[in-house]
Amino acid sequence: MVEITLLGTGGTLPVKGRWLSSAMIRCMGTSILFDCGEGTQMAAREADLPLGGVDILCLSHFHGDHVAGLPGFLLSMGHEGRRTPVDIYGPAGLTEVVTALRILAPFLPFEVRLHEIRTDQPVTLQTIGHLSVSAFPLEHSVPCLGYTVDLFRPGRFNVEKALFNHVPQPLWSLLQKTDSATDETGRVYTRDMVLGPDRKGIHILLAQDTRPTALLEKMMSGRALCILEGMYGSDDKREKAVETFHMTFTEVAFMASRAKPDEIWFTHYSPSLPDPETYIEDAQTIFPRLKLGTDGMKTILTYPDDSDC
Ligand SMILES: [Zn+2]
Ligand SMILES: [Zn+2]
């Protein structure tokens, strides 16, 4: 299962009831934080999420509303007992920005490992068991990354296949847990020799501060949940969205109508949008499975086809 929590849903500036946009995903003992604007540590506390448990920090880009909360967040992680290394990913400029911000948090009881991602295509950042975190480029006024979290699900054990491949019975159970196993003669067997085809896993996408792009639309396809910016509600703001490299509700809805993810949550609302509910119905006529994200909104996704997850 994958737990997703929106910590904040504000873009540019925090407003009453909206911390700056940030989200946390927890899955199989790994916690991933997406963006860290000012106040993110407060939002995480309000959502009852342990700061010290964050293993991976994915930064979209270096506008203040996405990174200014980093020094305080790192300090709180240390106070909460973090001692093992933390990986921070972000686009070009990561090292310079985080090094500067760390002047405010120079002494941390854990190692901070920086990974600057320069890419024009999707790239896998980390794979932990069946969980994989990847980044892909967006189109903003500065280098900006979207992220995907994929929980892959291997196929079921297939006795006929194991027998057909002459896999010794004592290795059957082991090969359901590891990639390969060796018998006493040194012969190597791989897990695909005993498992059926991969089953549908859980796939999530997060992208903010971007214009619509062909790659983003492609990446949205087949996802259980896409968390996307809803910077502007009204179509009257389209020109402004183009100028500032953001999106309107209907621009997102049109991409979704083609990519067909299971569900979309809006986040990163402009401070000039106090009433996103005014515009959601129009966007839902284009793609019905749109929801307005709110601070603290949470869901737990399980494997789609049965309950043994
Ligand atoms: Zn922003
Ligand atoms: Zn921005």
103 plus 126 within the same structural domain = yes
Specify if 308 maps to a domain. no
What does the pLDDT read at residue 178? 84
User: Distance, CA 23 to ligand 1 centroid (Å)?
Assistant: 13
pTM of the model: 0.92
In the reported structure, the alpha carbon of residue 266 is separated from the centroid of ligand 1 by a whole-number distance in angstroms of 13
Percentage of residues of the chain with pLDDT beyond 70: 98
What is the reported pLDDT for 309? 41
Using left for φ > 0, alpha for ψ between -120 and 50, and beta otherwise, residue 294 falls in: beta
User: Cα of 64 to ligand 2 centre, how many Å?
Assistant: 8
Position 50 confidence tier, pLDDT thresholds 50, 70, 90: very high
Q: What is the mean pLDDT of residues 184-199?
A: 91
Per DSSP, the three-state class of 81 is coil
What is the C-alpha separation between 136 and 118, in angstroms, rounded? Answer: 9
pLDDT for 127: 95
CA 53 / ligand 2 centre spacing (Å)? 27
Question: Is residue 224 over pLDDT 70?
Answer: yes
Mean pLDDT value across residues 59-86:
97
Domain carrying residue 69 = 2-151+201-301
Residues with Cβ within 5 Å of ion ligand 1? Answer: 11, 65, 209
Structural domain includes residue 239: yes
Q: Mean pLDDT for the chain?
A: 95
Q: Which of 172, 197, 222 lies at the terminal end of a domain, its last residue?
A: 197
> Which of 19-57 are b and which e, b meaning 16 or more Cβ less than 10 Å from the residue's Cβ?
bbbbbbbbbeebbbbbbbbbbbbbbbeebebebbbbbbb
Q: Is residue 39 part of a domain?
A: yes
Q: Are residues 189 and 129 in the same domain?
A: no
The CA 15 to ligand 1 mean position distance, Å, reads 14
For residue 306, being part of any structural domain is answered with no
* pLDDT of 179: 84
* CA dist., res. 47 & res. 3, Å (int): 12
Distance of CA 214 from the midpoint of ligand 2 (Å): 19
Residues 17 and 111 in one domain: yes
Q: Compute the half-sphere exposure of residue 249: CA atoms within 13 Å on the CB side of its CA.
A: 29
* Domain-located, residue 160: yes
Same domain, 183 and 247: no
Closest ligand to the CA of 245: 2
Same domain, 178 and 285: no
Does 21 share its domain with 127? yes
Nearest listed ligand to the Cα of residue 35: 1
- Which residues fall inside 5 Å of ion ligand 2, going by CB? 63, 209
> How far does residue 144's CA lie from ligand 2's centre (Å)?
8
Co-location of 165 and 228 in the same domain? no
Indicate whether 114 belongs to any domain: yes
Number of domains making up the chain: 2
Percent of the chain whose pLDDT exceeds 90:
91
| CATH number reported for the structural domain that contains residue 34 in this entry | 3.60.15.10
Same domain, 99 and 217: yes
Q: Which ligand is nearest to the CA of 91?
A: 2
pLDDT for position 177: 81
The answer on 48 and 161 residing in a single domain is no
Same domain, 284 and 208: yes
pLDDT digits (tens, 9 = 90+) for 99-148: 999 999 999 999 999 999 999 999 999 999 899 999 999 999 999 999 99
Active site residues: 65
Based on the domain organization, do 278 and 140 belong to the same domain? Answer: yes
What tens digit of pLDDT does each residue of 142-173 get?
A: 999 999 999 999 899 999 999 999 999 999 98
Question: Which ligand sits closest to the CA of 20?
Answer: 1
Same domain, 287 and 193: no
Query: Closest Cα to residue 205, out of 245, 252, 241?
Result: 252
In a domain, 253, yes or no: yes
**Does residue 257 fall inside a structural domain?**
yes
Token pair of 69, please?
Answer: 């909360």
Exposure of 102 by Cβ count < 10 A (0-12 exposed, 13-18 middle, 19+ buried)? middle
